């Protein structure tokens, strides 16, 4: 009986371990691609861009203080590690490669640079319409387009 258990365990090991190694290799490749993605689009740049966008909501004389204080709050290494792991767990190798191809291209870089301008134009219109809808919900009224 012990021989049967041993042979069964050996069979499982022979069949399952290569699969686990393959999964580890695939995950390792995705982690590598995620690290490369962060070289193309560093977390520090993403954080600073987001903070600068938020700073625009403050009076001009308060913006630099806001930016300085906000950037002190972020542990960029920890956020980068979290982001790399999340990318490796979420995206396939092919998807990560496409992200690298896109964000590493001149067009991808140009779009990334222009996106805050686009958002600055569109975001106030979206907020205006959300505010209008919330007011109508609160008051029961039905207003026109802003």
- Specify whether 60 is located in the same domain as 128: no
Using pLDDT thresholds of 50, 70 and 90, give the confidence band for residue 53: confident
pLDDT at 10 over 70: no
Contact 87, 39 (CB under 8 A): no
Q: What does DSSP assign to residue 74?
A: -
pLDDT higher than 70, residue 146: no
Residues 123 and 96 in one domain: no
**What domain range is 136 assigned to?**
115-146
For residue 21, how many other CB atoms are within 10 A of its CB? 10
Residue 30 parent element (H or E):
helix 2-40
Residue 44 maps to a domain: yes
Taking residues 68-87, report their average pLDDT: 90
CB–CB of 107/124 below 8 Å?
A: no
Residue 81 lies in a domain: yes
Q: How far is residue 141's CA from residue 35's CA, in Å, rounded to a whole number?
A: 51
Q: Are residues 120 and 91 in the same domain?
A: no
């Amino acid at each position: 009986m012990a021989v049967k258990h041993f042979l069964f365990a050996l069979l499982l090991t022979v069949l399952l371990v290569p699969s686990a190694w393959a999964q580890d290799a695939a995950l390792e490749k995705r982690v590598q691609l995620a690290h490369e993605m962060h070289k193309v689009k560093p977390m520090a740049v993403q954080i600073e861009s987001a903070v600068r966008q938020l700073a625009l909501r403050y009076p001009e004389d308060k913006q630099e203080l806001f930016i300085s204080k906000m950037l002190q709050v972020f542990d960029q290494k920890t956020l980068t590690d979290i982001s790399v792991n999340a990318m490796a767990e979420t995206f396939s190798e092919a998807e990560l490669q496409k992200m690298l191809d896109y964000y590493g291209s001149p067009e991808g870089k140009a779009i990334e640079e222009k996106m805050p301008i686009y958002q600055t134009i569109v975001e106030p219109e979206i907020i205006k319409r959300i505010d209008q809808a919330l007011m109508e919900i609160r008051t029961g009224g039905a207003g026109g387009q802003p």
